[in-house]
Amino acid sequence: MAEPREHRVLNINVGVLGHVDSGKTSLVAALSSTLSTAALDKHPQSRERGITLDLGFSAFAAPLPRHLAHLPYNELQFTLVDCPGHASLIRTIIGGARIIDMMVLVVDITKGLQAQTAECLVVGEMAAQHLVVALNKTDLIPEQDRPKAIKKAQKRLGAAFASTRFAGAPMVPVCARPGACAGADGAAAGGAAAGAEGIEELKGALLGMAAPRAAAAGAPLLFAVDHCFAIRGQGTVLTGTVLQGGVSVNDTIELPALKISRQARRRYAPARTGDQLRAALQPLRGQWTRRQGACCGQLAVKSIQMFRRPARAAAQGDRAALLVTQLDPKLMERGLAAAPGSVPAFCGAVATVEKVRFFDGPVPGKVKYHVNVGHETVMAEATFFGLPDGGGGTQEDALQQMISSLEAMSLHLPPAEAFDWEQEYAWQDQLYGLEGRPHIQGQNDQQLLQAAAAEGPPADAAVHFGPQWALLKFDQPLTAPSDSAVIGARLDLDSQGGSCRLAFYGRIVSPLDTGDPSQLARLQVFKPKERCGTIERIAPDGSHAICRGLFKKETDVGPFMGAAVTTARGEAGAVEGRFGTSGKVRLDFSAAPLAPAGERAARDNAVALRYKKFVFAAKDGRRRIRQ
């Protein structure tokens, strides 16, 4: 007799995000039919304060829609990830971004877009493939005015979403808890309130856009752990979502974050030299694999459950609970489990980045930001750079290019083309957005942008909208996939100020050891420089000249030997060597002799030496100065 076919479920993770008190948890309760161990504000403080403090998980099932009927599944399951909306909990929201496939943005129809709504939209643009807007609390509008108010809200929000990846997103009016007090975001433990409106329409919108996440062939296991607890006599349960790869009973997994010991983190903080940093990050594999019990590095998966159903394996996109032994749950609250050796540890990275257009003010370089990578939020210094020039274009073109780059940064797609280490990049004093950035070398960035803006239409030729990158130097080592998303924020700003605090976002293209000068030297980032001097004497035949003011007497002229110089008349020469001890130099114009002194005005004797100074090249190396 043939064995019965396995009941296969297609799981899609739906992030439910929105401003605090918009009714997210109430909406999740109205949608859900199955609750996990951390659903609907089970945290005691959540109930006490009336707001969501952590990620909550629940689910509802539905038949496969017609456009998915060809897939080898029997049922469709939506796992709802209830994210907190309070401004102080943005770290938790960002931490849940990687597991999201779709997003429901909950908007209080009586208030419209609010500060944290914009922050959630930024997270959604990176994490989600599709967006559905739930216009909640429609019961607070008098019934006779409701249709007009809904239409007005849809029009207003549609205009706001037109400049995002989610232009044309469906908007469904709902009432998750009819008669609830305004401002209550909690839900009763028993589930949805009676009489909830618009729920079936919202489910229909989700069904219409449901699509499986593209699987990366042969990718190693990556499992996002969001909850960890012990079961007496059995072991420790890790609940979470399979981000890539798969896991089966009896497989071996490891917890990468535990590889960096507390001692290593303490050693890293005051470290200054490359040797100290490398020592701090040295994997403790010998100690790790020999340890037993709570700190065992490699763990065997004893059993798997998916929403209380036993399973033999879990695949990409599935939400599952893994039972392991010899792990102290206190050591693992949230993080990653992975195939052994597949997740690196690093203290720096190069990332392709974009400025968040909702962020007010500049995003300067060489300052520290709260940077989220994976499930960790650490302080990092950001240095921005980009291509030295590029096409002009308009702000409309720039917006479309930004949206296209966002799609390339999506966590649902494989990384874009590899970072080009042979390319020369221009250092930027800040990260630029839709205003564009300079591509004329040798001028101050801000002055150039102001001049371009004052000149009107010709400004298109003075700025460009090419790709930008950031070198991130983390204050402490972290473990994360080498293609992780990054979000930089100014969480030190007033969370009650009503402005978006997310400054930039992007994706890692190459982890590196920022304490190793040889690795940093591979990064060819330059600052355009200019030295000015004056011709003091000209040889009778015009083939040579003596120049003062180009260098100080203590300057090492060696790196500038042979460097090209130009006079105010456009005459080209080269630095030949030092002349005397006062800082003067001898210039060679033998290829195109200078005009005689009697034919020259005083201003014609001005000399300029333009060059590129490479920021990360060895200070004593000739490669630091190039033209």
Taking the C-alpha atoms of residue 63 and residue 144, their distance in angstroms, rounded to an integer, is 36
Q: Which residues contact 33 (CB under 8 A, 6 or more apart)?
A: 59, 60, 61
For residues 89 and 178, membership in a common domain is answered with yes
For residues 501 and 419, membership in a common domain is answered with yes
For residues 486 and 593, membership in a common domain is answered with no
Residue 551 above 90 pLDDT?
yes
Stronger pLDDT, 391 or 227, i.e. the higher one: 227
Stronger pLDDT, 277 or 623, i.e. the higher one: 623
Closest CA to 304 of 357, 237, 256, 353: 237
Q: DSSP state, 327?
A: B
Q: How much is the pLDDT for 291?
A: 37
Write the pLDDT tens digit of every residue in 392-401.
Answer: 556 666 666 6
Residue recorded with tokens 């003067």 = 584
- Please answer whether residues 480 and 255 qualify as being in contact, where contact means their C-beta atoms are separated by less than 8 angstroms: no
CATH number at residue 416: 2.40.30.10
Residue 184 above 90 pLDDT?
no
Write the pLDDT tens digit of every residue in 321-337.
Answer: 999 998 989 888 778 89
**Domain encompassing residue 612:** 527-626
The percent of residues above 90 in pLDDT, for the chain, comes to 43
Residue 82 above 70 pLDDT?
yes
Q: How much is the pLDDT for 259?
A: 63
Q: How much is the pLDDT for 571?
A: 95
Q: Which residues contact 487 (CB under 8 A, 6 or more apart)?
A: 94, 97, 122, 123, 126, 371, 372, 502, 504, 505
pLDDT tier at 462, thresholds 50, 70, 90: low
What's the average model confidence in pLDDT over 362-369?
95
Residue 53 above 50 pLDDT?
no
Amino acid at position 322, single letter:
L
For residues 175 and 258, membership in a common domain is answered with no
Domain final residue pick, 338, 354, 374: 338
What's the average model confidence in pLDDT over 332-353?
90
Stronger pLDDT, 617 or 510, i.e. the higher one: 510
For residues 510 and 389, membership in a common domain is answered with yes
pLDDT tier at 289, thresholds 50, 70, 90: very low
Q: How much is the pLDDT for 180?
A: 63
Domain final residue pick, 338, 371, 400: 338
Taking the C-alpha atoms of residue 108 and residue 187, their distance in angstroms, rounded to an integer, is 16
> Using DSSP, how many helices (H) and how many strands (E) does the chain show?
12, 35
Residue 186 above 60 pLDDT?
no
For residues 302 and 373, membership in a common domain is answered with no
Question: What six digits make up the tokens of 489?
Answer: 């924020």
| Count of Cβ atoms closer than 10 Å to residue 503 Cβ | 28
Q: What sign does the CA torsion over 512, 516, 522, 524 have?
A: positive
Question: What six digits make up the tokens of 400?
Answer: 């479309």
Is residue 138 assigned to a domain? yes
Stronger pLDDT, 49 or 614, i.e. the higher one: 614
Grouping H, G, I as helix, E, B as strand and the rest as coil, residue 529 is strand
For residues 149 and 193, membership in a common domain is answered with yes
For residues 167 and 237, membership in a common domain is answered with no
What's the average model confidence in pLDDT over 492-520?
84
Residue 434 above 90 pLDDT?
no
pLDDT tier at 458, thresholds 50, 70, 90: very low
Is residue 217 assigned to a domain? no
Is residue 3 assigned to a domain? no
Question: What six digits make up the tokens of 223?
Answer: 């499992």
Question: What is the pTM assigned to this prediction?
Answer: 0.78
Q: How much is the pLDDT for 2?
A: 44
For residues 205 and 295, membership in a common domain is answered with no
Is residue 2 assigned to a domain? no
CATH number at residue 563: 2.40.10.190
Taking the C-alpha atoms of residue 471 and residue 365, their distance in angstroms, rounded to an integer, is 10
Q: How much is the pLDDT for 300?
A: 92
Stronger pLDDT, 72 or 40, i.e. the higher one: 72
Give exposure, 422-460, as e/b (b: 16+ Cβ within 10 Å): eeebbbbbbbbbeebbbbeeeeebeebbeebeeeeeebb
* CB neighbour class for 392 (10 Å; exposed up to 12, middle 13-18, buried from 19): middle
Q: How much is the pLDDT for 33?
A: 80
Residue 357 above 70 pLDDT?
yes
Strands (E), 8-92: 9-18, 34-35, 56-62, 75-82
| Overall number of domains in the chain | 4
Amino acid at position 358, single letter:
F
For residues 454 and 538, membership in a common domain is answered with no
Q: How far is CA 475 from CA 271, 393, 401, 516, 521, in A?
A: 10, 38, 32, 15, 20
Is residue 1 assigned to a domain? no
CATH number at residue 186: 3.40.50.300
Domain final residue pick, 322, 338, 354: 338
Residue 537 above 70 pLDDT?
yes
For residues 500 and 352, membership in a common domain is answered with yes
Instruction: Point out which residues pair with 430 in neighbouring strands.
Output: 364
Stronger pLDDT, 213 or 239, i.e. the higher one: 239
Stronger pLDDT, 133 or 282, i.e. the higher one: 133
Q: How much is the pLDDT for 446?
A: 42
Q: How much is the pLDDT for 346?
A: 92
What's the average model confidence in pLDDT over 243-257?
91
What's the average model confidence in pLDDT over 292-298?
49
Least confident of 111-125, 214-228, 357-371, 443-457: 443-457
- Please answer whether residues 191 and 176 qualify as being in contact, where contact means their C-beta atoms are separated by less than 8 angstroms: no
Residue 156 above 50 pLDDT?
yes
Residue 349 above 80 pLDDT?
yes
Residue 194 above 80 pLDDT?
no
pLDDT tier at 203, thresholds 50, 70, 90: very high
Closest CA to 376 of 256, 500, 276: 256
Stronger pLDDT, 289 or 608, i.e. the higher one: 608
Closest CA to 236 of 141, 284, 300, 166: 300
pLDDT tier at 3, thresholds 50, 70, 90: very low
Q: How much is the pLDDT for 548?
A: 96
Stronger pLDDT, 581 or 271, i.e. the higher one: 581
